[in-house]
Amino acid sequence: MSIRLTAEQESIASAPVTEKIYLSGMAGTGKTTTGVRRLRRLIESGVPAHSIMVLVPQKRLALPYATEIRNPRRKAGAEVTIATLGSLSHNLVGLFWPLIVRDLSRENPYRRLTFLSLEMVQYLMFKLLEPVIERNDYFNSVNINRARLFSQIADNLNKSAIVGFPHTDISARLKSALPGSQESLHIFDDAQACANIFRDYCVDNNLLDFSLQLEIFRKLWAHGVPRAYLSSRYKHLIADNLEEDTPNTHMLIGDLLSSAESALLISDEEAGYRRFLGADETSAAALEKLCDRSCRLIETRVMSRSVQAFLAELQETMTGSENIGNARQTGRARRAIELTAGPKSRFHTQMLDWVAETVESLINEKGAKQGSIVILAPLLHDSLRFSLVTRLEQKKIATYTLRPSRPLHAEPATRALVTIAKLAHPQWKIGARRQINSFDIVQMLTCAIAEMDLARATLLADVLFRKSELHPFNTITNAEMRARISEVFGERYGRIFEWIEKYKSSPAETIDVFLSRLFGEVLSQSGFGFHRDYDAARIVSNLIDSSRTFRQAASQIGDEIDIGNEYVRMVDAGILADQYEPRQWRKRPDAVLIAPAYTFLLSNQAVDYQFWLNIDSPAWSRRLYQPLTQPYVLSRQWVDGDIWSDEHERQTSREVLYRVVTGLVKRCRKKIHIGYSRFDERGNERAGDLRTMFDYLLRSLPPTTEGEEVEAADE
C-alpha cells in the first residue's frame, strides 16, 4: 500500500535532480518514507539506477530502500547501490590496495588481502594473545571472560580508526581522561600491548580487521583515485540516519557532495543510539551547510494524539522545560499509558502474568495483530525470555525474539548441535574440559527431541551414554524402563543415533556442511525440537554461516588445523561471538516481538503497542561497563586534557535515558504499557531512574475523568 505524502514531503521527493537537501526531524515524521519516494522519483525521471547510492549505518536500516528497489513494477536493469561504510571500504580496499602497497605487509606486500570477520578477529586474538596474557599476568585485576576482553581490545582499535588517531595512542588517551589507581591504569597499558601485538601480526600477514580496513581506506581516499572512481560512478546520493554513522562516513559524504548532482541527507533528531559504536551526530550536523537547502519535518505520522501528549509530558518531566501542556492534553497523556497495579505487583511473576493477560486481551478483545505488539526490557536475560515465551505460548500467542548481541555459545540450540558434532567426530582431540558428559547429553536431548522432558532425557542419558558414546535404544531390555521412556521418544532418539552412526561410517564433511545436513535431515523434521521453531532455525542458520566463514577465513590464513575441531573448540570457549543481521528484519513475522530496548530502537520500526518491563532497573540509563575502553573518551568530540568525572557519568546517564525513552515513545502508535514490580526476579528491591521519573510524572498528571480511565492490572 502506497503511503500518501504530505505537501512538504512531496516537495522534497519531487525536487529538481540538481538539488542537494538536508532533511531532519524526529522519528516518525516520515523522513525515510520521503527518502524512498525520492529514490523512486529519481529513477522515474530517467536517472540511471547505477548512478544512485544509498548509504546507511547498518544494513537493516536500508530495508525500506531495498524493498523499493525490488518493486516488481520497476523495469529490469542496473540496480541502485545500497552501502554501509564497511561494505564500501571493503570494496574500495579490495580494488585499489596496490596503490598503497608499501603500507601493507613488510615481508610480502603483494600477498592477497584477507578480510577478517569479528569472529576471526576473536579467534586470532585468542591464538596470539592468550599465551602473552598468561605469561605476563595481564588483566589480573579484571574479572571478565576472554570474549568480552578481546572484543574491547578490538573496539579500541576500531575507535582509533573511526576517530583518526594512531592506535598506539589508545592507552595514553584513556589514562589521561580516566585517572585512577596505579592498578587500574595498568589495565590500559595491558590492553595497549595486546592491541599492538595484534595489529603488527595483521600488518605482517595482510589480514584486515575492521580497524585496519578503515585506516587503509583513509589512505586510499587521500590518494585520489578511489575518490575519482566513486565520484564519477555515483552522481546521486541518499544518506539516511546520518546521526548513527561515524566521522569517516561523514567525511566520505562531504567529499562526494562536491561532485554529486543531487543529494538527500537525512538525520534523526534526539537519536544517536550508536554512540558506543562511534556514531557522531555533531559531525553529521556539519554536513547541513554543504547542502543547497534544509528542511525539517514536524508532523508525526506514527503517534496518536494521546501518545503525543504523553511524549510532551515526558519531555517536560525529564528536561524541566516549561509546561507546554494543558488539562485536556494531560488527560490524553494518561490514556496513552497503562501500568501494573502499583503495590499489588509485589513480585516479578505477577508483572509477567499481567503482561501475558494484557497481550491476550489486546489480541482477542481489541483485535490487535500479534505483529503490532512488542515487549521490551533494558536487558533480556534467558530467564525473562523463557518466562514470557512460556506464558504467551500457553495462550496460543506466537512470539519471536531478537538478541543480536547474544553469543552463539549461549544458545541451547548451539550447544545441542555442538554436542552432536562431538559425538559424530570421535577423531577430534577433545581435552578433559571439552569432554562430553551426561549433562551435555541431557541438554541435547531436551533440545533436539520435541516434547522431551527432563526426566526421560536423564533416563536415556544414564542408560545409553557410556564411555563418551551413545548406544542404540534397543539395548534397553528392561520393559519397565522402556515404558517409562516410551517407544515414541525411543524411536526419535533412535533416528538421531542412526544418523550419527551413518555419518561416522562416511568421509567427514566440512563443519558447515555437517551442521546443515544435521539440521535439514533430522532436527527440522516433525517430531524433533527445531520443527517449526523459528528462533531455533535462526540460531542454526547463524551457526552455519559462522562455521562457513570460519572455514573460509582459516583456509586463507593457512593454519594447518582440523577446522571443524578448532571451530567447535572456539564455540565451547565462548570466543566466537559474531553478531548476525537478524533475518526477521527482512521479513517480519506475524508474532509478538520480545527484544532489548536498544535492539528495537535500532530497527527503526513502529508498532501499535509497547510493553516496557522492569522500569525499576538501573540498566535503562546505565551504560555498559567496559573496563578496557570508554566510548565517550575515545570519540572525536572529547577534548584533550578533560577528565571524565562523576558529573560526566551522571549527565551521560540522564541523556541516555532521555534518548531511549523518547525514542521508544516516538515509535508507538497507540499505547505504552508500563510494567514494574516491587521485587525483581531475584527478590531484590530496586529504584532506577526510569521508575523515579514515572513516579514523578504520574503524581503530576491530574486524575482521569470519566471515559478516560487508565486501565490497571487486576492482580
pLDDT in tens, 368-404: 999 999 999 998 888 898 899 999 999 999 998 887 7
Q: Look up cell 570457549; give the residue.
A: 573
Q: What is the reported pLDDT for 27?
A: 93
**For residue range 206-241, what is the model confidence (pLDDT) as tens digits?**
889 999 999 999 999 988 899 999 999 999 999 999
Position 430 in a domain? yes
Q: What is the reported pLDDT for 15?
A: 94
Pairing verdict, β 465-466 and 469-470 = antiparallel
Position 707 in a domain? no
Residue 438 and residue 467: Cα distance in Å, rounded? 10
Are both 419 and 398 inside the same structural domain?
no
3-state secondary structure 655-672: HHHHHHHHHHHCCEEEEE
Are both 249 and 345 inside the same structural domain?
no
Q: What is the reported pLDDT for 237?
A: 97
Are both 487 and 556 inside the same structural domain?
yes
Are both 371 and 493 inside the same structural domain?
no
pLDDT at 417 over 70: yes
Domain boundary among 526, 551, 573: 573
Q: Which residues of 630-668 are buried (b: 16+ CB within 10 A; e: fewer)?
A: bbebbbbebeeeeebeeeeeeebbeebbbbbbbbbbbbb
Q: What percent of the chain has pLDDT over 90?
A: 51
Residue 207 and residue 216: Cα distance in Å, rounded? 12
Q: Name the pLDDT band for 40 (thresholds 50, 70, 90).
A: very high
Position 100 in a domain? no
Sign of the dihedral through C-alpha 251, 256, 258, 262: negative
The mean pLDDT value for 334-352 works out to 66
The mean pLDDT value for 279-297 works out to 93
Are both 199 and 242 inside the same structural domain?
no
The strands making up 52-55's β-sheet, listed across from edge to edge, are 81-83, 52-55, 236-239, 262-268, 20-25, 293-297
Are both 271 and 351 inside the same structural domain?
no
Q: Name the pLDDT band for 576 (thresholds 50, 70, 90).
A: low
Are both 517 and 421 inside the same structural domain?
yes
Q: Look up cell 575518490; give the residue.
A: 227
Q: What is the reported pLDDT for 141?
A: 85
pLDDT at 322 over 90: no
Residue 525 and residue 523: Cα distance in Å, rounded? 6
Q: Give the three-class secondary structure for 52.
A: strand
Highest mean pLDDT among 344-358, 474-488, 508-522, 574-588: 508-522
Are both 194 and 254 inside the same structural domain?
no
**For residue range 300-318, what is the model confidence (pLDDT) as tens digits?**
999 999 899 889 888 888 8
**Domain count within the chain:** 4
The mean pLDDT value for 517-542 works out to 88
More confident residue, 118 or 40: 40
pLDDT at 461 over 60: yes
Give the three cell numbers for residue 458.
Answer: 536423564
Residue 636 and residue 322: Cα distance in Å, rounded? 33
Q: Name the pLDDT band for 588 (thresholds 50, 70, 90).
A: low
**For residue range 247-280, what is the model confidence (pLDDT) as tens digits?**
999 999 999 999 999 999 999 998 888 887 788 8
Q: Look up cell 536493469; give the residue.
A: 77
Position 98 in a domain? no
Are both 462 and 547 inside the same structural domain?
yes
Q: Name the pLDDT band for 509 (thresholds 50, 70, 90).
A: very high
Q: What is the reported pLDDT for 325?
A: 43
**pLDDT-wise least confident of 112-116, 380-384, 388-392, 684-688:** 684-688
Position 195 in a domain? yes
**pLDDT-wise least confident of 467-476, 530-539, 554-563, 616-625:** 554-563
Phi and psi, residue 587, nearest 5°: -140, 100
Q: Tell which residue, 214, 241, 224, 231, has the closest CA to residue 35.
A: 241
Compute the residue count for the chain: 715
Position 229 in a domain? no
pLDDT at 336 over 90: no
pLDDT at 571 over 70: yes
**For residue range 140-175, what is the model confidence (pLDDT) as tens digits?**
888 888 888 998 999 999 999 998 899 999 999 999
Residue 52 and residue 55: Cα distance in Å, rounded? 10
Are both 402 and 415 inside the same structural domain?
no
Are both 591 and 569 inside the same structural domain?
no
Phi and psi, residue 105, nearest 5°: -50, 130
Q: What is the reported pLDDT for 524?
A: 92
Q: What percent of the chain has pLDDT over 70?
A: 88
- Terminal Cα distance for the chain, rounded: 41
Pairing verdict, β 52-55 and 262-268 = unpaired
Residue 359 and residue 499: Cα distance in Å, rounded? 42
Domain boundary among 297, 321, 345: 297
Q: What is the reported pLDDT for 558?
A: 63
Across the chain, mean pLDDT equals 86
Burial label, 301 (beta-carbon count in 10 A; 0-12, 13-18, 19+): middle
Q: What is the reported pLDDT for 339?
A: 54
Position 54 in a domain? yes
Which residue segment(s) compose the domain that 293 sits in?
Answer: 7-83+235-297
Q: Is the overall model pTM greater than 0.85, yes or no?
A: no
Position 418 in a domain? yes
Q: What CATH number is attached to the domain comprising 11?
A: 3.40.50.300
The mean pLDDT value for 631-640 works out to 88
Domain boundary among 573, 593, 613: 573
Q: What is the reported pLDDT for 343?
A: 47
Q: Name the pLDDT band for 323 (thresholds 50, 70, 90).
A: very low
Are both 66 and 123 inside the same structural domain?
no
Q: What is the reported pLDDT for 711?
A: 36
| Cβ-based neighbour number of residue 174 at 10 Å | 22
